[in-house]
Amino acid sequence: MTMHAVSAWAIPSRDHSSYIWLIPMASLLPMDLRQLNHLLAVTDHHSFSAAARALHTVQSNVSTHVARLEKELGVTLIDRATMQPTPEGLTVIERARRIATEMQSITDDITSMHDEVAGSVRIGCIGTTARWIATPLLRRMKETAPGLHPILVDATTASLTPRVGTGDLDLAVVNTPVVDAGLVTEPLFDEERIVVAPNNHPLAEHDTVSITDLADHEIMLTPVGTTFRDAVDEELARSGLSLRAAAEIDGLRLLTSLAYQGYAPALLPASAASGYSDEIWTIIRVDGLARRSVGLTRSTRTTPSTPARAAREVLLEVIREIGPHQPGIHVTLGAT
């Protein structure tokens, strides 16, 4: 039998007691970064033509790269009828995003080694927390690391955590606990669940109410099926109580806005009321409701870039300094 020479290299084992011989994948599968980049563009822009515009190339070039990758892998990655990834496509896309993140991190790390910390960092944040953290965070980053280019994404925990897992986001401030083996989360703060009521409403006569008192009034709530509502309903059910909805609003920021305009009292996380004038409404604490926990999550599948590590440190500093001054916020950063 004739053996064909194949170039290979050795890497030490973890304990350095032996070496592991690796055969380059290029000798078996000649995929390249351009193919993965074009696949990601098609996924993000939902068509070959839109991907071509984003990449500043022609559609035929995008189609060719994706088709070659599909041929090399022996599977269809993009369903041409729906322009959605196939199950095989989702697998490739998940790893391709991590590769893209690592490639960008190489550039950012090297730049930061020779100059000031510089590069892009993508940070997700739930909307209620972003109300009081975004402005001081951006200001502090500009002061301490002007070379950083922050990209903030405002979304729900359910939307943010998958993007952290794929490497599309470096960090995200989310509700906890986060159940994902590929993510690690550190605590930031707990926030009280509060009621905000128009000043002319009977609830506004109290600084604090019990959950029993709260059940006597119609209040605006998020819909059944949302994390915030389900957690509250579960707590009240243990006491044999339930809340009466004046309206169900899917979106905490809209819910807060309607309450501020005086439509009806609303049950909210404390962060949602941050920044609003207290001349129009009254903030009422609720005895008997557990606090909602918020943490900072990142992926364990990739090594954080220098910009991501710098952004994390700035974010933690901001939480330590201004968190204790936010009504209903109890900083847990550093707690075990």
Region(s) of the chain under CATH 1.10.10.10:
9-95
Given a contact cutoff of 8 angstroms between Cβ atoms, the answer to whether 306 and 108 are in contact is: yes
| Distance separating alpha carbons of residues 155 and 162, to the nearest angstrom | 12
Architecture of the domain defined by 9-95? Orthogonal Bundle (1.10)
Region(s) of the chain under CATH 3.40.190.290:
193-290
Number of H helices, E strands in the chain: 10, 16
Please, where are the H alpha helices in the chain?
33-45, 48-55, 59-73, 87-114, 127-144, 157-166, 211-214, 227-238, 252-260, 306-322
Region(s) of the chain under CATH 3.40.190.10:
116-190+293-331
The CATH code belonging to domain 116-190+293-331 is 3.40.190.10
pTM: 0.69
Given a contact cutoff of 8 angstroms between Cβ atoms, the answer to whether 69 and 88 are in contact is: no
Q: What is the pLDDT along the chain (336 residues), one digit of tens a residue?
A: 333 444 444 444 444 444 444 444 443 445 678 888 888 888 888 999 998 888 888 899 889 989 989 888 889 999 989 999 999 988 888 888 877 777 776 776 666 665 677 888 999 999 999 989 999 999 999 998 898 899 999 999 999 999 898 888 999 999 999 988 889 999 999 999 999 999 999 999 999 999 888 889 999 999 999 889 999 999 889 889 999 999 999 989 899 999 999 999 999 999 998 888 778 899 999 998 899 999 999 998 878 888 898 999 999 999 999 999 998 999 998 754
CATH fold of the domain at 193-290: D-Maltodextrin-Binding Protein; domain 2 (3.40.190)
176: three-class secondary structure by DSSP: coil
